[in-house]
Amino acid sequence: MCIHTVERKYKCDVCGYACNRIKTLKTHMRIHTGEREFKCEVCGKTFNQSGHLKTHMSIHTGEREYKCEVCGYAFTQMGSLKRHILINADKRQLICEVHSHASYTSNTLKSHKRIHTEERWYSY
């Protein structure tokens, strides 16, 4: 078992949030102060973190830098790509052993397999 022993020496006086970097605390404090120093030059929308502005800019540019190597679909955020990969990895694992029928959930695969066994999901 891994135990995190990092000392969190910076603490938010408002909510008690604690961290180990002063920069992280300053970024956190923007939640309470409402400070939004990052502004979109196209539409004027403001953000409290530079990463949020970068993600927002893809609305205007159409840029999608995170691309799935399997299907080619592209995303504006790495987290969206990771979620897509996890979802599709699960889908690829649910394949009928008799032929190449693929299902998205274990329940639909189970229902499909009944055609091979003639098992009925209902009773007479």
**pLDDT at residue number 16:** 93
Each residue's pLDDT tens digit, 50-88: 888 988 888 898 888 888 876 778 888 888 888 888 887
Confirm whether pTM is higher than 0.75: no
Say if strands 66-67 and 74-75 run parallel, antiparallel, or are unpaired: antiparallel
Q: pLDDT value at position 105?
A: 63
Average pLDDT over residues 25-45: 92
In this prediction, residue 124 carries a pLDDT of 46
Inform me whether the pLDDT recorded for 109 exceeds 70.
yes
Which domains does the chain possess? 35-63 (3.30.160), 66-117 (3.30.160)
- Alpha-carbon distance 20 to 10, whole Å? 6
CA angle, 28 as apex, 24 and 64 as ends, to 5°? 80
Tell me the residue ranges of DSSP E strands in the chain.
10-11, 18-19, 38-39, 46-47, 66-67, 74-75
Could you tell me which of 68, 70, 26 has the C-alpha nearest to residue 49? 26
